[in-house]
Amino acid sequence: MNKVIEAVNGVKIPQLGFGVYKIKKGEEFERAIREAIRVGYRHFDTAKIYGNEEALGRELQKSGNPREQFFITSKVWTTDLGYEATKRAFEQTCKKLNVTYLDMYLIHFAGPRYLEAWRALEELYSEGKIKVIGVANFEIQHLENVMKHSKIPPMVNQIETHPEFPQNELHDYLARHQILHEAWGPLGQGNKALLGRPELTEIALHHEKSAAQVILRWHLQRGIIVIPKSSNPQRIKENSEIFDFELTEKEMETIDRLNTGKRYSVNPNGYMVNP
């Protein structure tokens, strides 16, 4: 299971990861992570604001797999933006996860002082404490601003992306600038209207897959990193079984046409929405 995708600096990122936003704490969380590791996920996406870094770190360690086998992402929250504050936030995140380095660290939103925060990320990267540095929910103007004022351009932008909101313009921009596109909400946050679209169920039937698997496969074929979330063991497994079939060009185009412009993060500039 899985395929790797290379960041501009050559670091290998498993293209399928596991998102842990809003998984209920306690037994449900532990079971979900255990199951994810069991079926082969090694890439995990958390954030300070999710409040589960500590629990994630504990479960990864309990699995007995060596640290280097995991690809761990976390994010600096808006209230921690700034040079000193971001460095402190990074240390706290590492402490909670019980790790000495992060595979990927992202600025969660382009909030106040994100340029200073980026300078902190650049330094931590140069010291080898973060393998891949990036951003989330950044628009073209924010990316341009970082690139204009910094030494190292962002390597990844994690943004809301799904068939109803494919981010075509930003996707092309990221490709042109060698910034990897990572999708949050890759399944449209499980929206039943999307998952029940007849175009998707027809393609799914043809490949003997589910609509969710078809959507995830569409992302993979666009060169996007996906981090679907689920706490249901069947779905966790199902979402990982997306490397044994391929969508035709025509099927890709059919899914491209599901674009309605509907997004879940209400305001793209509002860093307080939908962390």
Residue positions in the annotated binding site for substrate? 108
List phi, psi (to 5°) of 72: -110, 125
Strand partners, 105: 74, 133
Binding residues: 108
Q: Report if residue 154 touches ligand NAD, rule: CB under 6 A.
A: no
- Token code pair at residue 244: 């044994």
Q: Report if residue 239 touches ligand NAD, rule: CB under 6 A.
A: yes
Q: Report if residue 190 touches ligand NAD, rule: CB under 6 A.
A: yes
Q: Report if residue 230 touches ligand NAD, rule: CB under 6 A.
A: yes
Q: Is 50 a catalytic residue?
A: yes
Q: Report if residue 227 touches ligand NAD, rule: CB under 6 A.
A: yes
Q: Report if residue 71 touches ligand NAD, rule: CB under 6 A.
A: no
List phi, psi (to 5°) of 107: -80, 120
Supply the DSSP symbol for 74. Answer: E
Inter-CA distances, 56 with 143, 229, 252, Å: 30, 14, 35
Q: How far apart are the first and last CA of the chain?
A: 28
List 21, 41, 50, 125, catalytic entry: 50
Residue from the set 224, 238, 242, 258 that interacts with ligand NAD by CB under 6 A:
238
CB of 274 to ligand NAD, least distance (A): 6
Q: Report if residue 82 touches ligand NAD, rule: CB under 6 A.
A: no
Q: List Cβ neighbours of 15 (8 Å cut-off, separation of 6 or more).
A: 2, 3, 4, 5, 220, 224, 225, 226
Q: Of 234, 239, 221, whose CA–CA distance to 16 is shortest?
A: 239
Would you say 15 or 230 has its CB closer to ligand NAD? 230
CB of 195 to ligand NAD, least distance (A): 6
3-state secondary structure 206-226: HHCCCHHHHHHHHHHHCCCEE
Q: Of 264, 261, 258, 263, whose CA–CA distance to 200 is shortest?
A: 258
Q: Is 158 helix (H, G, I), strand (E, B) or coil?
A: strand
Would you say 82 or 185 has its CB closer to ligand NAD? 185
CB of 117 to ligand NAD, least distance (A): 15
Inter-CA distances, 76 with 87, 111, 174, 198, 275, Å: 9, 11, 21, 39, 11
Binding window for ligand NAD (CB under 6 A); candidates: 52-60, 96-104, 143-151, 224-232: 224-232
Would you say 109 or 125 has its CB closer to ligand NAD? 109
Would you say 125 or 184 has its CB closer to ligand NAD? 184
Residues 14-53 that bind ligand NAD (CB under 6 A): 19-21, 45
Q: Report if residue 107 touches ligand NAD, rule: CB under 6 A.
A: no
How many residues lie near ligand NAD (CB under 6 A)? 27
- Token code pair at residue 122: 């650049």
- Token code pair at residue 18: 């596991």
Would you say 92 or 189 has its CB closer to ligand NAD? 189
> What residues make contact with ligand NAD under the rule CB under 6 A?
19-21, 45, 108, 136-137, 158, 184-190, 195, 210, 212, 227-230, 235, 238-239, 274-275
Catalytic residues: 50
